[in-house]
Amino acid sequence: MTHDALLSLLHDVAQGRRTPDEAVEAARGFVDLGFANVDVDRAERRGLPEVVFGLGKTSTQVADICRALHERGQRALATRLEPEVAEEVRSRLDDLPIEYDATARCLAIQPAVRAPDETRCRGPVLVVAAGTADRPVAAEAAFAARLCGNPVEELHDVGVAGLHRLLAHLDQLRSAAVLIIVAGLEGALPSVVAGLVGRPVIAVPTSVGYGASFGGVAALLGMLNSCAAGVTVVNIDNGFGAAYAATLMNRLD
């Protein structure tokens, strides 16, 4: 916590804008929910609030963390929520304006007042999926990138086995500010795309495949060994992580 932030906090208490309890929490930078310490300082430090990874959490836990973020004026995003879990979360938060995208398995709650700085971007984030089966991961990336304030465009089913499908969109590829390339199987698409453009390319391997794809390992290794310089890679199926990184690369402030 910076000196200025602390001073401002103390003024708030002095003038009754915060209770002492609220000030202690703000000074610590996290909210203790018992089962979780919500990092409410993250938006300050990183420019983007904490995100709830839904896998392995109960709907009650997801709902409680979302509410805690919302109550502190932050945007809530939860990923990896199956529709039935999302439905339970929604019923627990039925007073809040929830969006849910079943393909992306993402849920979001916009804050009452949107942060203006999230919308100053260098240009569109383009999410490209190699095959039809890669769509859920691409959808997660697109949902999260949009929520973080980026203009988002999408291209689907433009894998390297039929290059003309990709080359037909060359202008779109070249006008993007950041590209997120989602591919399973051998994961060759990021190399081909990166060779054609002069912007950051984030490669997302997916677990699409069978046999020697080993749940996405073949695609992951392909992307890490890309012959096109400058490709960076995130974990298998990690559409959200790619969107988060793209936002950091895209925003101007």
Site for its own copies in 191-230 (CB under 8 A): 191-192, 194-202, 205, 207-230
Find the shortest distance in angstroms from Cβ 172 to its own copies: 13
Nearer to its own copies, 59 or 213 (CB): 213
Angstrom distance (rounded) from CA 16 to CA 14:
6
Q: Could you tell me if 124 and 150 are in contact, meaning their C-beta atoms sit under 8 angstroms apart?
A: yes
**240 lies in the binding site for its own copies (CB under 8 A):** yes
Per-position x/- string for 163-192, each x denoting binding to its own copies as judged by CB under 8 A, each - no binding:
xxx--x----------------xxxx--xx
**161 lies in the binding site for its own copies (CB under 8 A):** yes
**23 lies in the binding site for its own copies (CB under 8 A):** no
| CB neighbour burial string for 16-45, b if at least 16 within 10 angstroms, e if fewer | eebeeeebebbeebbbeeeebebbbbbbee
Task: Give 135's Cβ-side CA count (13 Å radius).
Answer: 8
**Per CB under 8 A, which of residues 106..145 are in contact with its own copies?**
130-133, 135
> By CB under 8 A, which span of 3-11, 12-20, 86-94, 241-249 interacts with its own copies?
241-249
Scan for tokens 């109550």, then name that residue. 71
Find the shortest distance in angstroms from Cβ 14 to its own copies: 24
Q: 233: part of which helix (H) or strand (E)?
A: strand 231-233
Q: Could you tell me if 181 and 202 are in contact, meaning their C-beta atoms sit under 8 angstroms apart?
A: yes
**149 lies in the binding site for its own copies (CB under 8 A):** no
